[in-house]
C-alpha cells in the first residue's frame, strides 16, 4: 500500500480493526450508496417543486436550468453506480469512501448555491455527509467532512458577497437579508457552528454504537464459547460412559483437549504403588515429539521428585506460566519432557490418586489461559472417575 492509500485508510481505523468490522463497514457503505439513489433525486424534485408551487413563485423549467440540474444528477448517480461496482472488487475501500463523501459535499454545495447561497434554507443538506462519515469512517473523517462542508459553504457565501460569483435568486422572501452584512456574518457563523456541533454529536453517537456493537459481538462470542464447552462436556460424558478400557478413555480425553483447546501436547500419567508412570502422550497434527523424550518416564511419588509428583501428592492443580523461573521443576525431567509453559492436574477420586494430566503448547510456547485451566479441571475430574471405574471393574 502506498503512502496515499495508507493515509486514507487511517481514517477508517476505528471501523476496520477486525474482519467482522470490515464486513459491517461494507454493509453500511452499500446501504448508504443505495440510499443516495433515492436522496439525490428527491432533493432535486423538491427544488423543482418549490420553483413551481412553493415560496419561489417562478417558472424554473427552462432548458438551461433543466440541463444544468440534469447533468449534476446524472454525474452524481453515475459515480454512485460506479462505487457500488467498485466496492465489491477493491480491497481497500478507504479512498472510495472519502471520495464519495467529498462528492456529496460538493453536490450539496452546488444545490445550495443554486437556491440562493446565503439565502438558501438548504444548508442542512451537509448533515447527510457528516452522519455518513461518522458511520463509515470514524471521528477524524467526520470532522474532515464537516470542515470541507464549512469551507465550501463559506466560499459560496463570501464569493457571492464580493461579487465573484453571480447570485442565484431562488427564495425572494429571503433575499432581503443578503443586504445586511451583519446578517450574512451571523448566518455564516451559525452554519459553521452547527456543522461543528453536528460533527461532534454524530461522531460521539457513532462511537457509542460501535462500542455497543463490539460489546455485543464479545458477548455473542462468549456465549458461543460456553455453548461449545457444554457440547464438549456432553460428548465427553457420553464417550466416557461407553469406553471399555483405560486406553480408550485416555485416547479420547487427550484427543478432545488437543482439538478443543488447540494444545500441542497432552500427557497422562497413571499412579502405581509409589510412582507415576507416563501412560500416553498425544500431539496435535504436525507437532513432532522432541528428541530425547521417550515414553518411558517414571516419577517417584516424593515431593523432591518434581512438580508432577508434588501435584499428585498435594492433590493440587498447577498452571506454570514461567517454568524456567520455577524452583519446583526437575531439570532432568524438563529436558526430557520439554521446557515450556504447562499445566498439571491431578486425577483424584475420593482422595485416591488415579493419575496426573499434563498439557502444554510445546510448539508455540503459549500459556494456558485461566478459562482453559478451569475446563481442564473439569476434564481431569471426568477422566479420574472414568479410569477409576474401569480399574475397579477390571
Could you say which of 213, 231, 263 is where a domain stops? 213
Q: What is the pLDDT of residue 291?
A: 46
Residue 76 placed within a domain:
yes
183 and 319 part of one domain: no
Q: Which of 199-203, 245-249, 336-340 is predicted least confidently?
A: 336-340
Are 265 and 284 spatial neighbours (Cβ–Cβ below 8 Å)? yes
Are 191 and 150 spatial neighbours (Cβ–Cβ below 8 Å)? yes
362 and 250 part of one domain: yes
CATH no. for residue 371?
A: 3.30.450.40
Question: Which residues does residue 368 pair with via DSSP β-bridges, in sequence order?
Answer: none
C-alpha distances in Å from residue 81, one per residue of 75, 86, 92, 316: 10, 9, 18, 66
Q: For 349-372, what is each residue's pLDDT tens digit? A: 988 999 999 998 877 778 888 888
Which residues span the domain enclosing 81? 3-213
Residue 262 placed within a domain:
yes
pLDDT for 19 beyond 60: no
Instruction: Kindly state the cell numbers that stand for 256.
Output: 478432545
Confidence of residue 9 (pLDDT cuts 50, 70, 90): very low
367 and 272 part of one domain: yes
d(CA 390, CA 104): 74
289 and 380 part of one domain: yes
291 and 169 part of one domain: no
Q: Residue 334, Cα to own-chain centre: how many angstroms?
A: 40
204 and 306 part of one domain: no
Residue 301 placed within a domain:
yes
Residue 231 placed within a domain:
no
Q: Residue 319, Cα to own-chain centre: how many angstroms?
A: 30
Domain tally, the chain: 2
Residue 237 placed within a domain:
no
21 and 83 part of one domain: yes
pTM here is: 0.60
43 and 190 part of one domain: yes
69 and 119 part of one domain: yes
Q: For 202-211, what is each residue's pLDDT tens digit? A: 999 988 988 9
C-alpha distances in Å from residue 289, one per residue of 35, 161, 218, 222, 240: 59, 82, 36, 33, 27
32 and 168 part of one domain: yes
How many other CB atoms sit within 10 Å of the CB of residue 339?
16
C-alpha distances in Å from residue 170, one per residue of 52, 381, 388: 11, 82, 92
Amino acid at each position: 500500500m502506498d503512502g496515499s492509500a495508507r493515509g486514507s485508510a487511517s481514517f477508517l481505523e476505528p471501523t476496520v480493526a477486525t474482519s467482522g468490522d470490515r464486513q459491517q463497514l461494507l454493509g453500511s457503505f452499500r446501504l448508504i450508496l443505495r440510499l443516495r439513489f433515492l436522496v439525490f433525486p428527491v432533493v432535486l424534485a423538491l427544488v423543482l417543486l418549490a420553483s413551481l408551487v412553493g415560496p419561489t413563485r417562478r417558472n424554473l423549467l427552462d432548458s438551461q436550468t433543466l440541463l444544468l440540474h440534469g447533468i449534476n444528477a446524472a454525474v452524481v448517480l453515475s459515480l454512485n453506480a460506479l462505487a457500488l461496482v467498485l466496492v465489491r472488487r477493491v480491497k481497500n475501500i478507504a479512498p472510495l469512501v472519502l471520495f464519495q463523501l467529498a462528492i456529496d459535499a460538493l453536490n450539496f454545495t452546488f444545490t445550495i448555491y443554486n437556491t440562493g447561497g446565503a439565502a438558501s434554507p438548504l444548508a442542512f443538506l451537509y448533515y447527510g455527509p457528516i452522519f455518513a462519515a461518522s458511520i463509515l469512517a470514524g471521528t477524524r473523517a467526520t470532522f474532515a467532512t464537516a470542515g470541507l462542508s464549512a469551507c465550501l459553504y463559506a466560499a459560496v457565501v463570501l464569493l457571492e458577497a464580493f461579487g465573484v460569483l453571480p447570485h442565484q435568486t431562488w427564495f425572494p422572501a429571503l433575499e432581503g437579508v443578503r443586504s445586511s452584512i451583519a446578517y450574512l456574518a451571523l448566518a455564516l457563523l451559525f452554519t459553521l457552528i452547527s456543522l461543528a456541533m453536528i460533527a461532534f454529536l454524530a461522531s460521539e453517537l457513532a462511537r457509542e454504537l460501535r462500542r455497543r456493537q463490539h460489546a455485543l459481538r464479545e458477548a455473542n462470542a462468549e456465549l458461543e464459547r460456553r455453548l461449545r464447552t457444554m457440547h464438549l462436556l456432553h460428548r465427553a460424558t457420553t464417550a466416557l460412559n461407553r469406553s471399555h478400557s483405560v486406553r480408550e478413555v485416555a485416547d479420547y480425553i487427550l484427543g478432545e483437549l488437543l482439538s478443543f483447546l488447540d494444545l500441542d501436547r497432552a500427557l497422562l500419567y497413571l499412579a502405581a504403588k509409589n510412582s507415576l508412570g507416563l501412560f500416553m502422550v498425544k500431539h496435535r497434527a504436525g507437532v513432532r515429539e522432541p528428541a530425547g523424550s521417550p515414553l518411558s518416564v517414571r516419577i517417584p511419588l516424593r515431593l523432591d521428585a518434581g512438580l508432577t509428583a508434588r501435584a499428585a501428592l498435594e492433590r493440587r492443580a498447577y498452571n506454570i506460566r514461567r517454568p524456567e523461573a520455577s524452583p519446583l521443576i526437575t531439570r532432568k525431567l524438563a529436558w526430557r519432557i520439554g521446557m515450556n509453559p504447562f499445566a498439571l492436574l491431578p486425577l483424584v477420586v475420593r482422595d485416591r490418586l488415579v493419575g496426573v494430566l499434563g498439557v502444554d503448547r510445546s510448539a508455540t510456547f503459549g500459556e494456558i489461559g485461566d478459562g482453559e485451566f478451569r475446563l481442564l479441571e473439569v476434564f481431569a475430574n471426568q477422566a479420574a472417575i472414568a479410569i477409576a471405574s474401569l480399574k475397579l471393574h477390571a
